[in-house]
Structure 1
């Protein structure tokens, strides 16, 4: 039997078309009819229910717009940051369309969404499923505003149909490290790359909490004495394009840095003299690691050219670069002379170096091996320890043919499970440990606190100085601990720092 349902200051008619399936009384255009009294709404609903029983009722919703059609024009109407548009597109194409594409927007029920969510949860992280449901909620909210349906079925009802307790929201805690961990990981990453960029960048990230895109997009003019200005980021899209855009949530900010840290990155800039990249026309503090696309076909001195010029094998040249003590002095001198004459640059021997780091490449081949001592699984290779020669601590990565067979040692893990973003969590943890006021923490991290307490709290010079002193003390302690492990380092920048302490 039909009935009237109150909706604010009006009523809508509701009637049954099948067991468990309710419909709303609508006009010819599919819009809900708003009745002034409950009696009128119930009468209209009963009339339509009578048509259902007679078999003369027509399902007008069968001709309504499908989710697939609506979401396409919804997406086209958005004008958001490239990163947000990319995320929406991924959510829609990979998770929402496979389930809802052919359903009419007006027919999607809460139970349909809950069933879809149950299917997704065993396959993906709970936080990811929550994000996709949030996107669906946003889309259907706009559909409600357009009058395509009366309510949003993706709205979460607290405590309904869910197991009680907090365990369902549990997720693995983010791995963090300490000051010595930052230093050791930075040294290992630099040994893996064969240059200082990774050492300086890892230390800078660990002591400022810069986001990945912010450190990749850092320009020399914003790396200032005792301060780093966050003005831009390079955000990597799924297409591989690095998009030059404002920092996340427009979190423009100045980050105070201790004198020793500004000396570290300013010295790096002076040594490397960054040049504008071809893709953005801007100079950046840190350059990429690895070769640019198609660079193998470009001209340049290669390892084999050095071997031919010196009259030795490529294996001997590799030993001179990686294990010089294993090569006879006369042979080593001959190879080094060939390297100097030909202008061979290690790391660029197979082509032009890429202008910027790639998130996946950096994490896979530099950061994760440095933090865990293992290269991760990457087809066709299985996980395996970083092969090392043991001629100097902490070891030098062995490269080339049969590297594992020639290895004498491997690294122990420093922080198993740590990611580059984990250094941002590490920095926030250090700020808490040093008793940093919340207002100053939010400023450094690029977070915003809209509470009344935040409005009445202000940052003073004394707060900044105490934080810089605390970070400097941690750095000095980590250097002292590293010096106790070994007085020298194969990383030139770190070796210079250790020599001062010696």
Structure 2
């Protein structure tokens, strides 16, 4: 039974915490500030009930300060490099400065709701993005959930999950997208050639016809690119996978999404693709030929090089590449002279990531198997469908065929193609005469 005593006009309750001191005596915990004995006794009985049923929260644990807990929590997480940087920045800038002096067990739902409202107001004023606010709340919510379920520092989380039908209805805002048109892509690719040469031309078509994520494109190396892969794959030299890949993808050209390129503790690092979505992407013949031409024009390990010949990671990609391609630019003179580049108005203020979205639209429009579509996008199917699903060579071949048909139907004989870059092997330059003649007869811009 809990023990009740009066101290300075207030009632205090003491109960056994379920532990023993080094000298063998029982260890007690106390709580003060009660106005009457009944309230204090009920509180003590509740704590003893929790001790008997193994659900008690030790007072010393609940009083852990957030400035300690948030970093202990962070260090216990197994995160990808990009998430590690994001979480660390959020804790540094948003969580520790606001909550650091508070005990984990003292944070209330009312305080959390007030903080969330202030963050959303800051987003409405344009001080931070709505997406950033969602990330902050997600990290804090995970932190508080773990304080209950994993570390037993609280009984319940102060983060109240919103229930459908409660509060003001807010319709989810969807990005305004147009169907991806070949004419729009061609204008982007022509602009990319002016901005970035043959690399830019190939980059746009590869993004649109493979749906690779931008950092997967940055991390694509020549050994994983059609036409070199899988024969040049350094990872499977002694692996049983190599033989079936050689058989399957020499008859059906493909590239391998093996890495993405990211910063890890200030160093450029090849890391696993998002969601561990390693995958093989069949490429249509026209793109296979583009890759041949591009790889023959340089000896870099990176398929898509920056202006300086190095990796794209570390460049100001949007400002130096994507924005001029998308929005156009004025004519330049001098060392970096180029003609005026017209804007592609359909893509005004749009992300290059939408080329990936457009690829999914094409696959759905062409009626491809859902399992083949999701595998190509780097997604996993859940449930029984995912367990039994398998992408067959026939599914991949049909994807390559429909993509090639889309290219041929649009390009015809009169659309502009860039001149083939040099240096090139003699036999390779003979394989693409259409590009040479078309590029020689037209000007860009």
Report the TM-score when normalising by structure 2: 0.71
1:497 and 2:435 correspond: yes
Q: Partner residue of 2:55?
A: none
For 1:12-411, what aligned pairs fall within 5 Å after superposition? Answer: 27=17, 44-45=41-42, 64-122=63-121, 123=123, 124-144=128-148, 145-159=150-164, 162-164=167-169, 166-167=170-171, 169-174=172-177, 177-193=180-196, 195-225=197-227, 226-236=253-263, 241-274=267-300, 283-289=301-307, 353=308, 355-358=310-313, 361-373=316-328, 386-388=329-331, 398-400=332-334, 410-411=342-343
Deviation at 1:26, TM superposition (A): 8.6
Total equivalences in the alignment: 364
Equivalents in 1 of 2:182, 2:29: separation in Å? 63
Equivalents in 2 of 1:136, 1:147: separation in Å? 16
* Deviation sequence 1:440-463 (CA, Å, 0-9, x none): 111111101112233344433433
Deviation at 1:99, TM superposition (A): 2.2
* Deviation sequence 1:409-451 (CA, Å, 0-9, x none): 8445241122221211121122112122110111111101112
Gaps of 5+ in 1: 1-11, 13-22, 34-40, 50-59, 275-282, 290-352, 374-385, 389-397
Alignment RMSD (CA, Å): 3.8
* Deviation sequence 1:12-57 (CA, Å, 0-9, x none): 9xxxxxxxxxx99894999999xxxxxxx977335799xxxxxxxx
Q: Partner residue of 2:352?
A: 420
Closer/same/farther in 2, CA of residues 250 and 410 from structure 1, 3 Å limit: closer
Equivalents in 2 of 1:442, 1:420: separation in Å? 20
Closer/same/farther in 2, CA of residues 63 and 273 from structure 1, 3 Å limit: closer
* Contact 1:191 1:491 survives alignment (8 Å): no
Higher mean displacement: 221-230 or 359-368:
359-368
Equivalents in 1 of 2:286, 2:166: separation in Å? 56
* Contact 1:232 1:246 survives alignment (8 Å): yes
* Contact 1:363 1:419 survives alignment (8 Å): no
Equivalents in 1 of 2:208, 2:224: separation in Å? 18
Equivalents in 1 of 2:275, 2:28: separation in Å? 38
Deviation at 1:88, TM superposition (A): 1.0
SS of corresponding position for 1:74: helix
1:452 and 2:395 correspond: no
Deviation at 1:499, TM superposition (A): 3.0
* Contact 1:387 1:409 survives alignment (8 Å): yes
Closer/same/farther in 2, CA of residues 126 and 414 from structure 1, 3 Å limit: closer
Report the TM-score when normalising by structure 1: 0.63
* Contact 1:185 1:414 survives alignment (8 Å): no
Deviation at 1:96, TM superposition (A): 1.7
* Deviation sequence 1:319-340 (CA, Å, 0-9, x none): xxxxxxxxxxxxxxxxxxxxxx
SS of corresponding position for 2:262: strand
Closer/same/farther in 2, CA of residues 490 and 500 from structure 1, 3 Å limit: closer
Equivalents in 1 of 2:346, 2:418: separation in Å? 17
